[in-house]
Amino acid sequence: MKRIVYAAIAVLAAVSCTSGRYHWSEDSLIAPDGSIVGQASASANKGIGIRTKTEKVAESTFKVTFTFTADEDVEDARLNADFIHSSHSDYWMLPAVSYNGNWWGKGLEPKGAGKDGRWRTYSYRRSPIPGAVYSEGERHAVATWSDVPQCSQDDFSYSVMPEDSATTHRLVWPEEELPDFYCNRDRYDQGWRRSASMKAGESRSLTMYVDVTGIEPQHKAVSHFLKQCWNSMEHPHMAVPDYNAVWDLGTRFFKKSLWAEEGIFKGFSIGLLPGADGSWFQRPGGRYESGWCGQNISASCSLLWDYLKHGDKESLEKGLATLDCWADNCRLPNGLFITQFDPILDGGECRIDACNLGTSAMNFLVAEQLAKECGHDRPQYRELALAALDFVMADQQDNGCYARGWTYDGECIFREGTVGMFMVPPMIDAYSITGEQKYLDSALKAYDYYFSELRNDGYTTAGALDTWCIDKESSVSLIRSAIRMYKLSGEQRYLDDAVMVSYYLSTWMWHYDGIYPEDDSFSINDFHTFGGTSVSTQHHHLDVYACLWTPEWVELAELTGDSQWREKADAIWAYACQKISDGTTAINGRVRPAGGQNEACFENYWGFSLRQGESAEGLREAPSSSRQDRLNDWLVAWPSAFRLEAMRRMDVI
């Protein structure tokens, strides 16, 4: 393949003559001070000619169209379109895929930008913005992305190539994932690429949007391209069920499908699995959990709310029974409480993690007030939460760091990662409820510690219990805490922090609706990717987790006057309400119970099993672009619990 850097780039005269602004001169993007930000270039097989056209689409955003025309028949066409950022990058990002190489954590997701001397390429379907690459150089921050392919023949891949003195942003056609294929959590298969020919006279175009701005501290320049992407990309209309309908299905799912009584336990199962006879059954292992996937405490609060709003006595009875069960049986002498009930029933111990403990403590504080409004005094709910917070406070490090998890006797297991941030919102709430300064002081120390990680590193880490990697989940506590602190203090810095973390969360959110073949399960079930969020750099699939921070984005839009946050909140809510069963909904040939919704949605090739034989180059043939099981059959508790919690907090019922 030959590499061609074109000096004869087509430039709009008005742009090239503009002084004091970013503009193009021949193949180069020029900064306001006259320095070169980078160059457009392209490469292709012998026998393929290349033309390049540049247009200005916003103040410092440009559309570069690379047109490749075959001068002769080319059996195996390979087209590359590049923007070469003329600087070493101290920080680069492929949103939802790689944050500066994913070097943090013990997960086995792709590390670095290459492997064995070859640059990694990824299908655009892994990206929340098609083919997005962001790099921060010595003076400029550059982002590139492309349009959404409208048919499988247009599917492409992308890559970043950080080197000592330059960082290349690349689009690749046809689609490929090389040198290997990240096919499941911590698992790889052989790389693959599609084969495509071009006939003499045939043309194909690759479009690259180039956005540039001056470098800013704490990676804040990322906001420039994310806002431009959001404002310029098409936002499909997605029908959203009525809040009351979503509420009714959620409470019904907990009361009818997840309710469990086993020994001394009364509460909710973690979720349903499909039976061989077409039925559904509660998962037999890892059954009962206070927070995280099981969400017993949050769901119980929602049932108490349901009683207050609708007078449903079953909701009151099951909500109080669940809360009483956990409060009466799970408190430890040192103040911690057991967050998984299985060990109480079966013997043994579990790890008490900050994710479960923090969300449970926060909801126990809410539960005490809701129970009182329902006519039932439950001071033990507050006592339980405060005892846990007192323990965590005593265990807090001088730098503000909480632990990630503890044994029953209070020994710290790990401290790494942002997971301890889950303890900050209940600390703030405890201060608001009790007026005791110690809770606010502890929260402030932890807040500054965990926010410094985001400011310095450009990411947060290890929110989920089954991952040890860069992720989005622990960031929900960052935005919750920032807005809580702003409302308490009125200090602008907390509102600025809320905006900062919201842009980070935006790097995980699908800005477009992917196009899939007619026989694909997404198409068959009228399922849309717009508004979904990828799980982590270790888990490359979508879920509805983002619905948990819709109240914060609704509030952030009101506080800042920036409508993008309300628009994004609406998008993630619409995504989160897709395919909630009404009791007759059939997916994967199986009718789901009312309120049931699957956890994972596989928008790209992660989770695929490659079935084909070896190609001539020793690469696996490309996976099929159509898939019948993109919506999995794990009907877990947390999506319903999160929607109910969000609706409670927005007070829309």
pLDDT tens digits, residue range 72-92? 999 999 999 999 999 999 999
Per the structure block, which two tokens stand in for 257? 């499908």
Check residue 621 and give its pLDDT: 79
Check residue 179 and give its pLDDT: 97
Cβ-contact 181, 605 below 8 angstroms: yes
Overall pTM > 0.85: yes
- Calculate mean pLDDT across residues 18-35: 90
- Calculate mean pLDDT across residues 563-590: 97
613 vs 456, which has greater pLDDT? 456
Check residue 608 and give its pLDDT: 73
pLDDT tens digits for range 603-645: 999 987 654 444 435 567 788 889 989 999 999 999 999 999 9
pLDDT tens digits for range 476-495: 999 999 999 999 999 999 99
Q: Do domains 2-232 and 243-603+637-650 have the same CATH topology?
A: no
Q: In this model, does residue 54 exceed pLDDT 80?
A: yes
pLDDT tens digits for range 229-264: 999 999 999 988 999 999 999 999 999 999 999 999
Check residue 487 and give its pLDDT: 97
Q: Which residues contact residue 157 at a Cβ distance below 8 angstroms, ignoring those fewer than 6 apart?
A: 121, 122, 123, 124, 131, 171, 172, 173, 175, 176, 177
Hey, what CATH topology would domain 243-603+637-650 get?
Glycosyltransferase (1.50.10)
DSSP-derived 3-state class of residue 538: coil
Strand partners, 192: 177, 620
Check residue 9 and give its pLDDT: 36
pLDDT tens digits for range 283-304: 999 999 999 999 999 999 999 9
Give the burial class of 6: count Cβ atoms within 10 A of its Cβ; 0-12 exposed, 13-18 middle, 19 or more buried. middle
Confidence of residue 173 (pLDDT cuts 50, 70, 90): very high
- Calculate mean pLDDT across residues 136-156: 97
What CA–CA distances, in Å, run from 591 to 239, 521, 581, 594? 22, 15, 8, 9
Q: Which of 114, 78, 113 is nearest to 98 (CA)?
A: 113
Q: In this model, does residue 270 exceed pLDDT 80?
A: yes
Check residue 518 and give its pLDDT: 96
Q: In this model, does residue 465 exceed pLDDT 90?
A: no
Q: What is the mean pLDDT of the chain?
A: 94
CA atoms within 13 A on the CB side of 481: 33
Q: Which of 280, 258, 284 is nearest to 345 (CA)?
A: 284
Check residue 609 and give its pLDDT: 60
Q: In this model, does residue 10 exceed pLDDT 70?
A: no
CA angle (480, 482, 484) in 5-degree steps: 70
Q: How crowded is residue 49: how many other Cβ atoms within 10 Å of its Cβ? A: 12
Q: How crowded is residue 514: how many other Cβ atoms within 10 Å of its Cβ? A: 20
pLDDT above 90: percentage of residues in the chain: 92
CA–CA distance, 66 with 79 (Å, rounded to integer): 10
Per the structure block, which two tokens stand in for 534? 């990828």
Residues 2-232, CATH architecture: Distorted Sandwich (2.70)
Phi, psi at 193, each rounded to 5°: -155, 150
pLDDT tens digits for range 495-537: 999 999 999 999 999 999 999 999 999 999 999 999 999 999 9
Every domain of the chain and the residues it spans: 2-232, 243-603+637-650
